Amino acid sequence: MFTLSSALKTEHVIYEKKIHFKMSAIKQEIRFYHNYNFEYFNDNQKYQVL
């Protein structure tokens, strides 16, 4: 039985998955950016990777 409420539920689930995917993509981007801008210490010399 295909009702309006089941259609809305399906739509909602798809929407939530899209949001979750976007959020995890953003988190990965932030993590990458953080690691990329991390300061490395080597032989008492400080290198900042920009």
Top-confidence residue, 2 or 6: 6
| Region 14-32 average pLDDT | 76
Q: Between 45 and 20, whose confidence is greater? A: 20
Specify whether the CB–CB gap between 39 and 48 falls below 8 A: yes
Q: Number of structural domains, the chain?
A: 1
By residue range, what is the domain housing residue 31? 4-48
- Mean of the per-residue pLDDT values for the chain? 66
Q: Which two tokens stand for residue 3?
A: 């009702």
Residue range 30-44: mean pLDDT, rounded: 57
Residue 16's pLDDT is 78
Q: Reply yes or no on whether the pLDDT at 50 is more than 50.
A: no
With 60 as the cut, is the pLDDT of residue 27 above it?
yes
